[in-house]
Structure 1
Amino acid sequence: MNPMLSATALLLMTLMPAAAVEMALPTGAEILEVNGSITNSNADGKAIFDLNMLDALPQRVTKATTPWYTGEHEFSGVIISDLLDYLGASGENVTFTALNDYASEIPMAELEDMPVILATRVDGEELSVRDKGPLFVIYPFDLDSTLYNEVIFGRSVWQVASVTVH
């Protein structure tokens, strides 16, 4: 093959957007809806997830003391930046909305810069609605003690039901 043609083809391939991901529909209870500026979806422009679908994405454990629980606990769940990458998300901000309609906006750059998780479990047990579940935004308090502040606490939404990328 002509080297110039190969270089041009390679350049064009790197400039093309990533191919859409074929997303399955949830088979269990739906616990999260993601909408807004995403390219991959499974339900009319939005992505709906059950627990198994979220568990299939890259996970992290954050072992930390937080203002919401007594003592140190292990929070585990999907890394939000990986979830957003999977969905082909683009935008400046991401809004997390709780079951009670409390909402908090987090800059996309912040989510890309640190492993913030959407926790599905605390100490290995699934989070129930009664215990701030089914999903809870947890910052990597174990990596950076300066995150222990009121701004971050306000962004740490519990009982997350939906996410909007804008």
Structure 2
Amino acid sequence: MKFINFLLIIFITINSPVKADLNQNLINELKQGGKLIFIRHAYAPGGGDPKNFDINDCKTQRNLSNSGRNQAKKIGSFFKDNNILIDEVYSSEWCRCKETASLAFNDFEIKSFLNSFFSSQFAKNKAPQMEKLKMFISNWNEDKNLVFVTHYVVISESLNYAPSSGEIIISNKDFKVIDTIEIEY
């Protein structure tokens, strides 16, 4: 029992510096460019979209809470504070994604291939969207990083990863996950 306690103490004392080193390694890798950065929209309470959902009317959508807005700002601060170069920021058409992109990065462009296909209303779009995303990436010049502010289903389908709200998932051009960063809300 004393040996297990000893190992636990050793693990706890070395865990913090190791995590800091891992974060610094990831930041250094992001500074090299050529990464795909998928961000699940910041915290928007609930799940899915309301029945009266209208893509052109934010009042009918599930939107960011105040905590989610703060989380989006923290996402932006992570990139600014670490001087990580971003080529372009792309967002889904959903208001919670656009607001996340706006609060985190200010400038962004809409790409419909980042839209949610969670609800039955949009499920038929899954295959064509994933094909458009892959085509877009295959034509991308990898000097800087690309940011995609999108939804759980898009990230899950393209990276085989289940993100939390506001989580940053870094991958290479082949959609292989390199690492993730969770930003608290």
Give the TM-score, by structure 1 length. 0.28
Larger proportion of strand: 1
From the two aligned structures, give the one with the greater helix fraction: 2
| TM-score normalised over the length of structure 2 | 0.27
